[in-house]
Structure 1
Amino acid sequence: MSVSERYRQYAIAAFYRSTKLSQQVDAYFAASDSLINNKIRELGVPKEKFFRTEYAPAISTRIGETSAQDEVLERFELTPGYILDVASNSERKNITNLLNAVASLHQSGINVPKLVIAGDWRGTETHHYGKEILGDNVAFTGYVDDDVLAHIYHGAGLYANPTRHEAFGLTNLEAMAAGLPVITSNKFAVPEVVGDAALLIDDPEDTDEIANKIQLVIENADLRSELSDKSRIRAEMYTWEKTVDTIVSVFKELS
């Protein structure tokens, strides 16, 4: 989380406390226990006012025809089975450490699939750095719409997301809904969302750990299959219908 983002959150919390607006709110909705606990500390609001309303995958389930999949992969010059991370342009997404981890595997002579970064990174310093150290072994798609992104998810062979901080981490669930083995961080809300269905990185600042986890998955077909099965099962636990039911139930209780 950047300094400016942290300051913005503290400023909002201070405003709510100083104006006592937080005490006038009957119910708060938050996507994870981690986020709920943070807001309780920031706002000084009783836990009973918070209700967990989880997100659910909606992009990766929009897969269309196989011909469209082929067109998307051809557009970005991708071969199925690549390593994917879908990330907005933010330091907390930890893309530089992911690039360094994959580069170290190549330097060790390990046969690593292409790394694909989907999100608004093209033209950034991170983009130029990634091309400098990985060349054609990394692709930055830039921003793509949801229909295209669905095909990008389904063309991957592994989802690697060593994020520094997530209040929920929806892209992990999108990858799981696509049946991808997932490697992600054991930080903030991420482990409560993915459960035991993902391979967790304890320290996202440790590029060796990121590299080791990636190598473990790409070299072990049984592990890939196990994680893929767990991914699908885990993703099915999250639906927008459940979230809507929770919200409606709370409003009925308060009315």
Structure 2
Amino acid sequence: MAQASGIGTYIRGLLGAFSACRPASLTLTLITGKDDGVDGDWTRIPLSARFYSPSEQVAVPWAFRRSGAKLLHSPHYNLPVVLASRCVVTVHDLIHLKFPQFLPSRLAWIYAQSVFRQWIPRARAILTVSENTKKDLIETLGIPESKITVTPPGVPDGFHPLAPADYQPALESLKLPKGYFLYVGNLKEFKNVPRLLEAYRRLRQKKMYAPPMVFVGENFIPGFDRELENTPYVRWFPDLDRGALPAVYAGALALVFPSLYEGFGLPPLEAMACGTPVICSNRASLPEVVGDAALQVDPLSLDDLVNAMKRLCEDTALAGVLSAKGLQRAAQFTWDTTAAKTLDVYRRCS
């Protein structure tokens, strides 16, 4: 699971911080696949079961007993049911409950309902990445507040301001000019990317020389790939190497992130850490991530999106203010803090 996008960033960041702050008295064993993407000299128990599969519900408990550990931390909601009472589980969001229409099958819906409503309430402790998801857990599932600890993620390694000489080669290799609007993340309905594309089209009608629009992320919306490819001045990179992302952020005029729902919202944090201005939704967790360091918009309003993008096209002073505020805001999110809070939960649950 360490290779999965947002969850993978969470796992790698947390383990990286554990390497520096974990007490000698605490032994950690990773139950993981062969190519997990995790650095460090960790004791590992290999796992070949597919995520969310029945075999995972057998293989993980077997590996846990083999490890001799007292506590299992599941970094995503797919905790093993037979070990629920011995688990700390990280719940990043309740997307599968709030947007069931986007699940791939009826079976996936049944699985999500069972895990969230029957298994997760039995966990020894619950970690989550935002106050908004904590509120969702309390209001939707009736989880006691005392059982939930908010541990926001830190800025991923490599995301910091870059000089033009450092990011320009990447832009040239991608054939990107400096100063484009940028979206980073999976292309899904609840991410509101169809409305973002329409907002960009309207911006081009109002402002002929508006910057290009760049989408970075895998598409999950049938037919949306053709819309992207057929819209002038739009570029789409479905499988951009993550190592190139800091340079792509650095070359952008602004990140535009109008998502309808996020458990946290890593792209705005990454953009702020790179000094890139942010336009984002005023929904769910995003206001607590960006604070006053971004232009917040109603994600259902095309006019709001168009006007915010137009403002940043025309107001270089505003872009500079948002860049400076974003850097200050991003500095508040560190993996050391995440790790310290997580270790405290481990101690209380052991």
Deviation at 1:67, TM superposition (A): 5.9
Q: Which has the higher contact order (CA 8 A, sep 6+)?
A: 1
Question: CA-to-partner distance for each residue in 1:150-169, whole Å, 9 max, x for gaps?
Answer: 21111112111111111111
Match of 1:192 in 2: 288
Structure 1 distance, partners of 2:213, 2:220, is 14
Match of 2:345 in 1: 250
Of residues 112, 116, 127 in structure 2, which corresponds to 1:29?
127
- Determine if the alignment matches structure 1 residue 69 to structure 2 residue 164: no
Structure 1 distance, partners of 2:228, 2:144, is 45
Amino acid of the residue matched to residue 177 of structure 1?
A
SS at match of 1:12: helix
Structure 1 distance, partners of 2:215, 2:189, is 14
Change (3 A) 1:233 1:46: same
Deviation at 1:145, TM superposition (A): 1.9
Of residues 164, 180, 195 in structure 1, which corresponds to 2:260?
164
TM-score (norm 1): 0.88
Amino acid of the residue matched to residue 51 of structure 1?
T
Hey, which of these two has a bigger chunk of helix by percent? 1
Match of 1:224 in 2: 319
- Determine if the alignment matches structure 1 residue 112 to structure 2 residue 210: yes
1:171-186 aligned at under 5 Å gives the runs 171-186=267-282
Of residues 221, 231, 234 in structure 2, which corresponds to 1:138?
234
SS at match of 2:296: strand
Change (3 A) 1:125 1:17: closer
Structure 1 distance, partners of 2:202, 2:157, is 32
- Determine if the alignment matches structure 1 residue 103 to structure 2 residue 201: yes
Kept in 1: contact 2:252–2:276 (CA 8 A): yes
Change (3 A) 1:231 1:60: farther
Deviation at 1:229, TM superposition (A): 0.6
Higher Cα radius of gyration = 2
Structure 2 distance, partners of 1:125, 1:240, is 38
Structure 2 distance, partners of 1:16, 1:214, is 38
Change (3 A) 1:138 1:15: closer
Kept in 1: contact 2:161–2:273 (CA 8 A): no
Kept in 1: contact 2:271–2:278 (CA 8 A): yes
Kept in 2: contact 1:58–1:174 (CA 8 A): yes
Kept in 1: contact 2:138–2:145 (CA 8 A): yes
Change (3 A) 1:78 1:166: same
Instruction: Return 5+ residue gaps in structure 1 as ranges.
Output: none
Change (3 A) 1:33 1:241: same
Amino acid of the residue matched to residue 81 of structure 1?
G
Structure 2 distance, partners of 1:34, 1:10, is 24
Structure 2 distance, partners of 1:56, 1:4, is 29
Change (3 A) 1:124 1:60: farther
Question: CA-to-partner distance for each residue in 1:204-254, whole Å, 9 max, x for gaps?
Answer: 122121001110121111111111111000000001110000001111223
Give the share of equivalent positions with the same residue, in percent: 30
Amino acid of the residue matched to residue 107 of structure 1?
Q
Match of 2:333 in 1: 238
Instruction: Return 5+ residue gaps in structure 2 as ranges.
Output: 1-98
Deviation at 1:109, TM superposition (A): 3.3
Structure 2 distance, partners of 1:190, 1:10, is 28
**Cα RMSD after superposing both structures:** 2.5
* Paired residue total: 250
Kept in 2: contact 1:59–1:149 (CA 8 A): no
Deviation at 1:72, TM superposition (A): 2.0
Match of 2:192 in 1: 94
Structure 2 distance, partners of 1:91, 1:198, is 23
Structure 1 distance, partners of 2:162, 2:204, is 34
Question: CA-to-partner distance for each residue in 1:104-142, whole Å, 9 max, x for gaps?
Answer: 121123421111111123996223213323x2x111112
Match of 2:9 in 1: none
Structure 2 distance, partners of 1:65, 1:227, is 18
